[in-house]
Amino acid sequence: MSRHPIVVMGVSGAGKSAVGEALAARLGATFTDADSLHPPANVEKMTAGIPLTDEDRWPWLHLVGAELAATRQNGAVVACSALKRVYRDAIRATEPSTRFILLNADPAVLRERLTKRPGHFMPASLLASQLETLEPLEKDEAGLCLTSEGGIGSIVDRICAHLASEGTGARHYADR
């Protein structure tokens, strides 16, 4: 199975952290939630309901790439929104072999998940701006697009099946 660094990505509430943690456990890899890499100023903005700008994100994205590079030897899985192609390109600039797993969900499901998530700095009020910002993986990006339905184990099974197929030449796959 692939030992490429992996970013589990998507908008807030898509299940990045839960799926990323379970995937890392299955692969015997290091898990990092990129939320923990945000500088305090970014957290303050999001807590106040203010969307981040690209200028806010660049230093954070560099830290995400550095984390992937630092933990790559033993396997690395990072949960990170990585909403735009240029953000993913910034991560790949530091760790070129990164694979991206895009988790999609119905906006109503996302809103419900966000309202049931206590103590997180990302308010449900920013979901619309994230959905507007989201750029799906393009055909030339190594990764997988799938719906975050069917439970965490099922999602991890689908991701692992995709990673195992990479040896057969599969690079991008959509399971929508």
CB of 32 within 8 A of CB of 24?
no
Beta strand extents in the chain (DSSP E only): 6-9, 30-33, 76-79, 99-104, 143-147, 172-175
CATH superfamily of 6-169: P-loop containing nucleotide triphosphate hydrolases (3.40.50.300)
pLDDT of residue 124: 57
The end-to-end CA distance of the chain, in Å, is 23
At 166 the pLDDT is 73
How does pLDDT run along the chain (176 residues), one tens digit per residue? 457 899 999 988 888 999 999 999 999 999 999 988 988 998 888 778 787 788 998 998 989 999 898 888 888 999 998 999 999 999 999 889 899 999 998 888 887 876 776 655 555 566 777 888 889 999 899 899 998 888 999 999 999 998 888 754 445 555 54
CB atoms within 10 A of CB 115: 11
Please name the amino acid found at residue 84.
K
Number of Cβ within 10 Å of residue 56's Cβ equals: 16
Sheet of 99-104, strand order: 30-33, 76-79, 6-9, 99-104, 143-147, 172-175
* Contact predicate 7/78, CB 8 Å: yes
Cα 92 from Cα 137, distance rounded (Å): 13
The model's pTM: 0.85
**Taking the domains of the chain in order of start, what are their residue ranges?**
6-169
Q: What is the CA radius of gyration of the chain?
A: 15
Token pair for 76: 């690395």
Q: Beta strand 30-33 with 99-104: parallel, antiparallel or unpaired? A: unpaired
What is the helix, strand, coil percentage profile of the chain, to 5? 50, 15, 35
